[in-house]
Amino acid sequence: MSGVGMGGAEAVLAGRSVALVHEWFSATGGSENVFLAMHELVPHARGFVLWREPDAGRGEQYQQSWLARTPLRRSKALALPVMPLAWRSLTRQPFDVVISSSHAFAHLVRTGPAAHTRYLSYVHSPARYLWSPDFDGRGANPLLAAPRRALRAVDVRLSRHVHSYAANSVEVRSRIRRFWGRDARVIHPPVDVEYFTDAPAAVRDQERRYLLGVGRWVAYKNFDLMVEIAEAAGEPLVIAGSGPQETALRRAAGRASVPVAFEPRPSRERLRELYWGASALLYPAHEDFGIIPVEAQACGTPVLGLRRGGLLETVVEGRTGFLLDDTDPASYARAVRRLGELDRPGTVAHAATFSTEVFRDAMTRWVRDATA
């Protein structure tokens, strides 16, 4: 019987005071969606965030920390050194259970003086700019080496009170073990696979006529490489999303020998149409997990990406996509020519293993075990 069928996490935590905390709450993305799903599981919980961005949408119900009243909220880099203090002075209200959604320092949170409080932390990743500056350029500056060492020490020392960790992927669990010396249970993020699979007939029946790139237009996502792949494969490319690299990408598209179309900030409905119209999703990036590849597979769209990180967990090699060991456009072009070998119905079925229902059951089991 599923945890939801037994009443879910809400029943497990009935009668207990619960706090849910998240880093800064910006326009709804992957980590924000997980946090919202967590709150749906425990609707009586009180929510806290460092601050809410102006475009945060559904984050209005969450109480902000004192950092929200300072100029530091406008610069995450400048705010980083004081974030541990903000989490330690968030509220004096005692709670029975505190669950953090952490990709920076939220796992350091401590609330009022209750000695019996159980602290649980769902980790999207230990702070990349702190622990993995090779992944995230924000921490790679040599001048930041000394502050980074100091913050790493703080990150480890002030997290010893956490009773149980969950990681969004095997990739992140390995980082938690390596950086913090702690174990974690793997609970993949929830993906609304039913929405993407159950598209209108007109959407499902369209011809698959282009390669697709989706996400934030930033350097490590390698959208410039996607243009080169499309050229090498001789296939049109659609780039959906937004981000600071837009100007550079449009220049590259203008020089390309194949059509490259842009879909800035597509609606959810439009994104579903784009997935269903694509012959493959290009995803040549090292991600912690990666919700976009799962959404694409829910539409029967295979994934071509790097054999690293979360794709090792979300893509079945030779069945729902192809994973490559390098970023050579010619290698991807060869994979494009093999798309006919893949199992599109099997791709849809595989995506269902990352559903919201699966997440709810896994979260309920974790919360039950960690608070017993």
List, for residues 362-372, the tens digit of each pLDDT value: 999 999 999 98
Q: Which amino acid is present at 43?
A: P
Q: Which of 44-58, 118-132, 212-226, 249-263 has the lowest mean pLDDT?
A: 44-58
Q: Are 182 and 162 in contact (CB under 8 A)?
A: yes
Q: Give me the pLDDT at residue 87, please.
A: 95
| Residue 145 pLDDT greater than 60, yes or no | yes
* Average per-residue pLDDT for the chain: 92
Please list the residues that pair with 282 across neighbouring strands.
304
CATH number attached to the domain at 193-354: 3.40.50.2000
Domain ranges within the chain, ordered by starting residue:
8-189+356-371, 193-354
**Quick one: CA dihedral 159, 107, 102, 314, positive or negative?**
positive
CATH number attached to the domain at 8-189+356-371: 3.40.50
Q: Which of 19-23, 58-62, 115-119 has the lowest mean pLDDT?
A: 58-62
Q: Give me the pLDDT at residue 53, please.
A: 83
**140 vs 128 pLDDT, higher one:** 128
Spatial separation of the C-alpha atoms in residues 186 and 189, rounded to whole Å:
10
Percent of the chain predicted with pLDDT > 70: 93
Q: pLDDT-based confidence at 142, cuts 50/70/90?
A: low
Q: Is 60 helix (H, G, I), strand (E, B) or coil?
A: coil
Average pLDDT, integer, range 243-259: 96
193-354 matches 8-189+356-371 in CATH topology: yes
Spatial separation of the C-alpha atoms in residues 107 and 103, rounded to whole Å:
8
Closest by CA position to 271, among listed 311, 241, 244: 241
Q: Is 136 helix (H, G, I), strand (E, B) or coil?
A: coil
Average pLDDT, integer, range 27-38: 84
| Residue 133 pLDDT greater than 80, yes or no | no
CA atoms within 13 A on the CB side of 316: 17
The pLDDT tens digits of the residues spanning 268-286 come to: 999 999 999 999 999 999 9
Q: Give me the pLDDT at residue 26, please.
A: 80
| Residue 6 pLDDT greater than 60, yes or no | no
Spatial separation of the C-alpha atoms in residues 161 and 165, rounded to whole Å:
11
Cα–Cα distances in Å, from 347 out to 190, 202, 293? 17, 20, 11
| Residue 312 pLDDT greater than 70, yes or no | yes
| Residue 29 pLDDT greater than 90, yes or no | no
Q: Is 258 exposed, middle or buried (0-12, 13-18, 19+ CB in 10 A)?
A: middle
Closest by CA position to 220, among listed 161, 141, 135: 135
Spatial separation of the C-alpha atoms in residues 7 and 69, rounded to whole Å:
39
DSSP string of 299-368? TT--EEEESSTTHHHH--BTTTEEEESS--HHHHHHHHTTGGGS-HHHHHHHHGGGBHHHHHHHHHHHHH
Q: Are 83 and 73 in contact (CB under 8 A)?
A: no
Q: Give me the pLDDT at residue 221, please.
A: 93
β-pair type (46-49, 237-242): unpaired
Q: pLDDT-based confidence at 10, cuts 50/70/90?
A: confident
Q: Give me the pLDDT at residue 177, please.
A: 97
| Residue 2 pLDDT greater than 50, yes or no | no
Q: pLDDT-based confidence at 59, cuts 50/70/90?
A: low
Q: pLDDT-based confidence at 149, cuts 50/70/90?
A: confident
Q: pLDDT-based confidence at 4, cuts 50/70/90?
A: very low
Q: Give me the pLDDT at residue 112, please.
A: 84
Q: Give me the pLDDT at residue 77, please.
A: 80
Spatial separation of the C-alpha atoms in residues 278 and 239, rounded to whole Å:
11
Q: In what order do the strands lie in the sheet with 260-264?
A: 260-264, 237-242, 210-216, 278-283, 303-306, 321-324
Average pLDDT, integer, range 234-244: 96
Q: pLDDT-based confidence at 7, cuts 50/70/90?
A: low
Q: Give me the pLDDT at residue 137, please.
A: 53
Q: Are 126 and 100 in contact (CB under 8 A)?
A: no
Q: Give me the pLDDT at residue 371, please.
A: 94
Cα–Cα distances in Å, from 7 out to 13, 234, 269? 10, 52, 32
| pTM score of the predicted model | 0.89
Q: How many CB atoms lie within 10 A of CB 8?
A: 20
Q: How many CB atoms lie within 10 A of CB 29?
A: 12
| Residue 134 pLDDT greater than 80, yes or no | no
What is the chain's percent helix, strand, coil content, to nearest 5?
45, 20, 35
